[in-house]
Amino acid sequence: MAQYGISVADLELDAKPAKRARRTGKVAEKYRNPATGESWTGRGRTPKWLAEAEAAGKSRDQFAV
């Protein structure tokens, strides 16, 4: 350390605590497939059954809970 002129303070990391993942609670379902009873909260990737229904010309509002 003396050879390179580094002090202990130079080696210390920021005093900031590491970010913690935020816990999220359960999310209520927003859409349900009446044929199979499958549900989707509206978060994440659109499920296959809903994507296929939309491609067939149906609206998401028809599957709203």
Determine the pLDDT at residue 2. 84
Fold for 26-65, please state it: H-NS DNA Binding Protein (4.10.430)
* The pLDDT of residue 59 is above 90: yes
Rounded CA-CA distance 43/30 in Å is 9
Considering the entire predicted model, what is its pTM?
Answer: 0.61
Q: For residue range 8-48, what is the model confidence (pLDDT) as tens digits? A: 877 776 556 677 777 778 899 999 999 999 999 999 999 99
Regarding predicted confidence, which is higher, 4 or 19?
A: 4
Alpha carbon separation from 33 to 8, 29, 48 (Å, rounded): 61, 11, 11
Determine the pLDDT at residue 16. 64
